[in-house]
Amino acid sequence: MKAFFKTKSGKLVAIGTFLVLLIAAFCWHQTYQNDQILDHKVNSAVTMKTNRAALKEEKDIKPSTKNELIRNKKKALQLGVDKYPNGYLIIPSIGIRLPIYNRANNYTLALGVGKSYYLDSEFGKGNFCVAGHDMEQPGILLSDLHRINLGDQIILTGYNGQRYKYRVTSKKVVPPTVKIVDGKPVQGSAFYMPKDQEKPIVTVYTCANGGVNRLVVQGELI
């Protein structure tokens, strides 16, 4: 065997084997790093502050592939977006705990959920509406939202220990368009604004059917 590796053919085999092992080690390391980024959870304290990246406005946010999510999340962490959660969305029954940001963009949605439509909304008032990604991978962002049941609790936690509890009253898959009548979203839509005598609601929505439709979950303030 030693004699073989001293030959030209043997040296080529040795070099080829080394290169294969080197590439395999690189791929394993890259996969490990990507998994670490994907599994990273935001645990920073809630703050009323923010940074430029968290407030970046993007009008056309599309469903993310796994590689796009990893790339956006890595950049978001580099820019410190994880240090500025404006609250947390907690759904105990399905193990969701995600940071809430005041804007929905590729950075904030790589880490958690962002306000949608009503950008000035407040916890416990009107319709507090947030959007997030369904990566169709358990434990990642809103991928488990489809497992929520009517009657489950949705909890919003904010600055200085604010805590608002909602009871899920609606769960449905709808088209991405919203019907508007007299300049206002109709009742039952994701962006419906409760009237004065109606209870405040929370709306959590994500993509469904590969991005063709939307899964919309709503709950009333308890």
DSSP letter (8 states) at residue 6: H
CA-CA distance, 12 to 93, in Å (whole number)?
Answer: 58
| CA angle at 211 for the pair 207 and 214, rounded to the nearest 5° | 40
Answer yes or no: 146 catalytic: no
Task: Characterise 88 by phi-psi region: left (phi > 0), alpha (psi -120 to 50), beta (else).
Answer: beta
Within 8 A by CB and 6+ apart from 212, the residues are 176
- Residue 58 structure tokens: 């993007």
- Residue 183 structure tokens: 């300049």
Answer yes or no: 207 catalytic: yes
- Residue 91 structure tokens: 């759904």
Within 8 A by CB and 6+ apart from 11, the residues are 5
CA-CA distance, 124 to 164, in Å (whole number)?
Answer: 6
Annotated active-site residue in 27, 29, 40, 133: 133
Residue labelled with tokens 């088209």: 175
CA-CA distance, 148 to 216, in Å (whole number)?
Answer: 11
What positions carry a catalytic annotation?
133, 207
